[in-house]
Amino acid sequence: MRNIPTFGSWSSSFANAGFFLAAMWLFFWAQHLFAFDFYKLGVLPRTFSGLIGVIFMPFIHSKREIEHIVNNSLPAFLLMSSLFYYYKEIAWKVLLLGWIFTGAFLWVFAQDFGRYHIGMSGVIYFLAAFLFTSGVIRKYLPLQALSLFIVFLYGSMVWGIFPMQEKVSWEGHFSGMLVGLVMAFFHRQKGPQRPKYQYEIEKEMGIEPPDLEGMYNQRLLEIEEEQRKTRESISEIVYHYKPNDTPNDKSPQP
């Protein structure tokens, strides 16, 4: 096989994911220190002022319910770390574009006109959908294993895209999942790819693979021809007998 992809390092992946996690908690801490209404940095659908939430929404969480940010912290850290490790070449591009498009689609799609949408959940759904779909369509074993790991841990997240819980932004979840699916297909030729075998590389280069069956049949014909000639040479052997001139009379002499 050729072109075996290399992944990033876990130390730098953890550091990058830790940066976003630290920013989340800094905003949460600031919400308790300042009188500013930080929820207004969320997405307010189809309003000019609500566009700021496209950037800041993932950093803002309910200050009255610490469970909100706690529940988002671990999946956000694990999924971002996986993105930076397995897709190091395109990780920043994918994350930033997915971050923006998730918020932008939510701004257009959400139906609650007077309701602010906050939290990292949309980005988490985007990351889970991207990593799962990319692992499946790339057909590369380590990425497929990552897809199964995500299904095992977060498979139940799929129910979050339906309006089943009050005060939960199912539109944000749906936006993130949709963007993740689209980004996975859009970037399917970028980043790590399944290693190619030698015959696949030669086929792409226009090098025709050897006709093994034809070569085998040709060799059989050559062997049969050699055997035929051997039989003919053996059949032409002629044995010559020379008469015995030695006297046969062995009687004693007088």
What average pLDDT score do residues 66-82 get? 94
> Does residue 139 or residue 78 have the better pLDDT?
78
Does the structure show a pLDDT above 50 at 251? no
Q: How confident is the model at residue 236 (pLDDT cuts 50, 70, 90)?
A: low
Amino acid occupying residue 98: G
187/121 Cα distance (integer angstroms): 22
53/45 Cα distance (integer angstroms): 9
Q: Which residues contact 203 (CB under 8 A, 6 or more apart)?
A: 209
pLDDT score at 228: 76
In this prediction the pTM is 0.75
Does the structure show a pLDDT above 80 at 230? no
What average pLDDT score do residues 231-238 get? 62
Q: Which residues contact 130 (CB under 8 A, 6 or more apart)?
A: 83, 94, 98, 180, 181, 183, 184
pLDDT score at 38: 94
Average pLDDT, the chain: 84
Task: Rank 98-107, 205-214, 245-254 by mean pLDDT and report only the highest.
Answer: 98-107
What average pLDDT score do residues 15-43 get? 95
Are the beta carbons of 13 and 81 closer than 8 angstroms?
yes
Are the beta carbons of 167 and 221 closer than 8 angstroms?
no
Residue of 177, 161, 147, 178 lying closest to 83 (CA atoms): 147
